[in-house]
Amino acid sequence: MPIHDQGYRRYTGTRLPHSRTWRAIARSGVQSMLRRRAFVALVIVSWLPFIVRAVQLYAAANLPQVPFLAPTAETFRQFLGQQETFLFFVTVYAGAGLIANDRRVNALQIYLSRPLTRMDYILGKLAALLALVLFVTWVPAVLLVAVQVLFSGSSAFVLENMRVLPAITVLTGFEAVIVSLAMLALSSLSKSSRFVGILYAALLFFTQAITVVLRAVMGERGLAWLSVTDSLTQVGDAIFGLPLSYESSVLLCFVSLLAIAAVSVAVLNRRVRGVEVVA
Amino acid sequence: MSELAGSASPPSADGKEAVITLEQVTVQYGQQAVLREVSAVFPTGAVGLLGPNGAGKSTLIRSLLGLITPTSGRMRVLGHDVAHAPVEIRARVGYMPESDAYMPGMNAVSCVAYCGELAGLPAADAMQRAHEMLFYVGLGDVRYRAVETYSTGMKQRLKLAQALVHDPDLVFLDEPTNGMDPRGRDEMLSLVYDLAHRKGVNVILSSHLLPDVEQTCDHVIVMYKGRVVTHGPMAELKQPRGQVFELRVKAPRGQDAFRERLTAAGLLPHRPATDEGENPEPSAETPGCRSDRAEPGDDEIIRVLVPGHGGARDLFTVAASAGVQVRHLRPSVVTLDDVFARAVGDTEGTR
């Protein structure tokens, strides 16, 4: 008997519904990142501000000599602002290759020849990136609130600042969705993850540079809607109910970010296909 | 299989249950029609989808998977309409693409297991099946190696493993022996034969290599320029509708001129497929004749299909009128090579 006769048998086990396959894609995406030491190191570094803030909260709760360290809603907003740097690096590192690498090795036709739709594929990739991004924004921010309650020994701060927890969730969620969609869209445009990373950085820095130049020329502090990062800052300030950083309409910034998301979805819809047809 | 195919599938011409039914399927890329009103019924078992490069074989497979939407026509796979239930179909079929395709950054066992999970297998079952499939295709010893380090032949086997991991009822193999050495090719064809004839998996083998199809399939569908030019059980197609001769000639005006005379006389000359499995790539000018090789010498053997009952006499008549000496003439049996040449010749002749 040939050796291969011993290897193939029909499968009689259970089959999961296709609506759950996006989870397998998401899990695989997260696991592949966590296997990379450089990424784990990046995540560890991105949690350093959390430790610094935790020390601040401990000092504020236990040392009456430093009342200026007492937390406010702005403390958490500032913390999220600091995390934006890590958000950028995590998004580039984890997101640039998510679709680009699949395109490089023609994996899309394997994915899409399985019982899943293009939507399942995009959802799986998006979920992987969202999970990684939220791990350096939402998770430490929420933990920081918990640490504050723990160190102070009361939930007075949370009760007095009822807006903080929802604001953290809404802002980090919105931010994560926008940057993840933009990154996935860029990732679907190329087969090179490095090129995608450069494109993403260019998108942020170029819009920022244009805004800065126009502000200098026009002598005003508006135009935040032209810059992705400024728009996020402006929307974040509004969500936290804090004074706005720029003299721009929050609605305009919000619409600007939604437009980026819409364009990203359109790009993904066009680019994520099992077969590329060049007519 | 009969239960899976469902009552919605009509029987094929030879009475077998149909796995795939195509009705007037047309696929256009822009203004270019790649499939032109293709109608065919694929029976159970191993079916060869044969045709030269550009015939539309891969496009047809991708359409059946729902990756390409046809411009018009209707397709049914395993009793499901492709337009309405592509996901249900893909849950029950496996696909081995023609080009290199794998999951990046994984070893073989992770890659195949992941493909199993994508097909709906629970993670533990998918991992177990991945090991089994990699042993089955002959990659058991190297299953923990990164896929990126695999040779072309190993990647072909890996693609077969990922196509089988979820135990499909039907598997599409698009040029499965591409880039494989002779030994690897034989092993791959043995696996394909084994799947179709001993494991109960329906196989659609797309190839431009006549020997591959002849060795593994019971039924063949020949495509040419986006059309199905002939189809049927292999044995039936190879029934002689005329006689096949192998001959060697001395042609003062060259063999091409002689072949043109043969073609003009209604005979179908072509060169035999080589051991490497090359088939006669027909040209528009001389149907059934290869166009991508150097001019043959006088020692070149030409196979000629002589329709009707004229036999060798017809051949000698044409040779005499062309001033060609027949140095060697031997009756032969009909091969798939001849079937292909005849089908393509008929198609060209009707235009």
> Which ipTM score applies to this complex?
0.90
Query: Is A115 part of the contact surface with chain B (CB cutoff 8 Å)?
Result: yes
Question: What percent of chain B stands above pLDDT 70?
Answer: 84
- Domain-located, residue A139: yes
CATH 3.30.70 fits B243-349, yes or no: yes
- pLDDT confidence of residue A279: 55
**B278, pLDDT greater than 50:** no
Which chain B residue's Cα is nearest to A108? B101
**Across B281-296, average pLDDT:** 38
CA B29 to chain A, closest CA, distance in angstroms equals: 5
Strand B243-250 to strand B302-306: parallel, antiparallel, or no bridges (unpaired)? antiparallel
Is A279 within a domain? no
Per-residue confidence band for B56, with pLDDT thresholds at 50, 70 and 90: very high
Give residue B249's pLDDT. Answer: 85
Predicted confidence band of residue B282 (pLDDT cuts 50, 70, 90):
very low
How close does chain B come to A6, measured CA to CA in Å? 8
CA distance A42 to chain B (A): 20
Confidence at residue B301, expressed as pLDDT on a 0 to 100 scale: 80
pLDDT number for residue B12: 55
Write the residue in B95, B105, B199 that is nearest to A101 by C-beta: B105
Q: Map residue B207 onto helix, strand or coil.
A: strand
Residue B17, C-beta contacts closer than 8 angstroms, at least 6 positions apart? B1, B2, B5, B9, B11, B43, B44
pLDDT of residue B10: 54
- Does a structural domain hold residue A9? no
Please give the Cα distance from A273 to A251 (Å, whole number). Answer: 34
Chain B positions in Cβ-Cβ contact with residue A9 (cut-off 8 Å): 132
Residue A47, min C-alpha distance to chain B (Å)? 27
* pLDDT 10s digits, B308-348: 777 788 888 888 888 888 888 888 777 777 777 777 766 66
Question: Is A223 contained in some domain?
Answer: yes
B145-176 pLDDT, tens digit each = 999 999 999 999 999 999 999 999 999 999 99
B282: DSSP letter: B
- Residue A117: list chain B partners with CB under 8 A: 87
Sequence-distant (6+) residues with CB within 8 A of B311 are B243
> What's the predicted TM-score (pTM) here?
0.84
Contact A24 B167 (CB under 8 A): no
Show me where the domains of chain B are located.
2-234, 243-349
Amino acid type, B28? Q
Number of domains in chain A: 1
CATH code of the region B2-234: 3.40.50.300
Q: Which residues of A touch B30 (CB under 8 A)?
A: 279
Residue type, B52: P
Q: Which residues of chain A have pLDDT under 70?
A: 1-6, 277-279
* Helix/strand/coil for B268: strand
Query: Is there a contact between B190 and A14 if contact means CB atoms under 8 Å apart?
Result: no
Give the structural domain span for A167: 18-271
Among candidates B31, B91, B123 on the partner chain, residue whose Cβ is nearest the Cβ of A115: B91
